[in-house]
Structure 1
Amino acid sequence: MASNGIIPFQVSMLNNINYENWSIKMKALLEVQDIWEMVEKGYNESQDESNLSQAEKDSLRDSRKRDKKALYLIFQGLDDEAFEKISNVKSAKVARKKLQTSYNGAEQVKKVHLQILRGEFEALHMK
């Protein structure tokens, strides 16, 4: 471990078959970095900062920084194909939602296709 208290880590790469495992590992990494909340809940972006107190401005700046850190770590765990799916997002929360929709949807399609093939196999086997 580094002497400055930083824990080195390796980000798992997301591919077409490991979304569930990748998401568990990514959640753990983001929790260790104390930024999972940004991915799960996001933050309220102020439209007009001129009406905010200095404490509110500081809090907003901190939230933006934590969100970008989470988004950066998510980007680091993506291959080029997955990155292209979310490269235009502006927040970690939106990135997570897009990845969930993309990969969970694909997984459900695979399961349905497998069930169809199983049924066809059983029908052939019975003939």
Structure 2
Amino acid sequence: MSSLTKQISVPIFSGQNYDYWAIKMKTYFQSQKLWEIIEEGVTLPEDSSTSSSAEKGKLENKKAKDSEALYYIQTAVADHIFLRISVATSAKEAWSILQKEYQGSAK
């Protein structure tokens, strides 16, 4: 039996209609269980030497999800906008940069 997978195309933000793009991206991130990472980010423990292996595993999972979400954001913007978020080291930071610059604007 073959398995069918549906490839979802992520909308590309070109600098216009940010609010529409952001809604679509938020829905996409929610469907992939990544939205929490964008909203909350990844908080590193002050002293990781006292963390249990389960806690370390959860942290590694969050870091991987953050990298995945950052990748989706980076690939969902036009090249001239990518330059603005290229310094972001987390999905939360990249999302925040875009939000501050474009949210509510008619750009």
The TM-score, its normalising length taken from structure 2, stands at: 0.89
- Structure 1 distance, partners of 2:103, 2:34, is 23
Question: 1: distance between equivalents of 2:78 and 2:46?
Answer: 34
Which residue is equivalent to 1:116? Answer: none
User: What secondary structure is seen at the aligned counterpart in 2 of 1:8?
Assistant: coil
Instruction: Please tell me whether residue 27 in structure 1 is matched to residue 40 in structure 2.
Output: no
Q: Which has more radius of gyration?
A: 1
Q: What SS class does the counterpart of residue 81 from structure 1 fall into?
A: helix
- Work out the CA distance in 1 between the residues paired with 2:44 and 2:81: 26
Q: Which runs of 5+ in 1 are unaligned?
A: 111-127
Q: Which has the higher contact order (CA 8 A, sep 6+)?
A: 2
Q: CA deviation at 1:43?
A: 2.2
Distance 2:6 2:31 in 1: 10
Distance 1:32 1:60 in 2: 21
The one-letter code of the counterpart of 1:16 is G
Tell me the distance in 1 between the aligned counterparts of 2:6 and 2:45. Answer: 33
Aligned runs of 1:109-124 on 2, under 5 Å?
A: none
1:91 maps to 90
Find the aligned partners of 1:42 and 1:7 in 2 and give their Cα distance: 28
As a proportion of its length, which structure holds more helix? 1
Task: Specify the alignment match of 2:3 in structure 1.
Answer: 3
Q: TM-score, normalised by structure 1?
A: 0.76
Question: For the residues of structure 2 that align with 1:83 and 1:13, how far apart are their CA atoms?
Answer: 11
* Change in 2 beyond 3 A, CA 1:47/1:7: farther
Aligned length: 106
| Counterpart in the other structure of 2:62 | 63
Q: Could you list the runs of 4 or more consecutive aligned residues of structure 1 that deviate by over 6 angstroms after TM superposition?
A: none
Taking the aligned partners of 2:8 and 2:32, their CA distance within structure 1 comes to 11
What code does the residue aligned with 2:31 have?
A: V
RMSD across aligned positions (CA): 1.9
1:43: which partner in 2? 42
